Every structure is written in structure tokens, then in C-alpha cells.
Amino acid sequence: MAVQSLDHYLVFAGDLELTKRFYVETLGLDVGFRPPFEFPGYWLYIDGKAIVHLAADDGSGGFEKYLDKPEAAPDGGTGALDHIAFRCSDGSIQEFRAKLERLNVPYKHRVVPEFDLQQLFLDDPDGLMIELNFFDEAP
């Protein structure tokens, strides 16, 4: 058996509704089906696949119980994660930059040398860096 692809990642949201709004309005993900867990959250989809899971601690202990941890640790996390990257295809990097500026979302633009790749880096409301990759677009 071999690893085939990234399935999803979970963000422990400090403000669940704010984080959901960021992923839906800024990145264009869709809210979809989520099993009835014992803690609040959302599953956010790209092309019918739940790629981002959001969770929040409502104080009931359901989140800690599900993750089999004695305490939720939103600031401690599970390791050294720097960023999550998404490949982008619809529209162009200029259109996405304009959208981010309209939404007042700060970002950094990078051009990968000797490679047809431009990138935008931005932070979600919980401090996770998001990398957006735009291939085959000359700077």
C-alpha cells in the first residue's frame, strides 16, 4: 500500500464562522455534508471532495474525546506545519489578486525562478499560511 494523495486537513478554528467565511468567500470552497460529530464544525469541498475540515471546541468535551486527547491545544498543534498549497486553474492570478485586494486580504506574490509558476501566500484567520499556485502564467 502506498500513499496516493492528500485527503484533507483540519483547522482548529478560533472563530468557526470567521474561518468558514474565509475559505468560502476568499478561496471559493463549498460547505457540504459533515457527519454529526459531537463538536461544531464544517467540511469544505472542492469539486465534490471534502478537502478542509473545520472544528471548534464548544466546551462540551466532544472535540477532545473524538481526537482522543485530554485537552484541545489550538496553539500547540501537532507539529511543525508551515503552509498548505492549492493548485489554481480558474481565471488568472491577476483576477485572484484583485479579489484579495477587494476583500482586504493581505498576501505576498512570488515568482518561482526558471519555472512557469507564480504563487500567492496568505494567512487564514487562524494563522495557517495558504499557498496558491498558478502554473503556466508568465509574470
Q: Identify the structural domains of the chain with CATH numbers, from first to last.
A: 1-72 (3.10.180.10), 83-139 (3.10.180.10)
pLDDT greater than 70 at residue 139: no
Residue partners of 40: CB distance under 8 A and separation at least 6: 16, 55, 56, 58
Tell me the sheet residues that pair with 120.
109, 132
- Which strands form 117-123's sheet, in the order they lie side by side? 83-88, 129-135, 117-123, 108-111
Q: With a cut of 80, say whether residue 22 has pLDDT above it.
A: yes
The answer to whether residues 23 and 29 touch, using CB atoms and an 8 Å cutoff, is: yes
Confidence check: pLDDT of 137 > 70: no
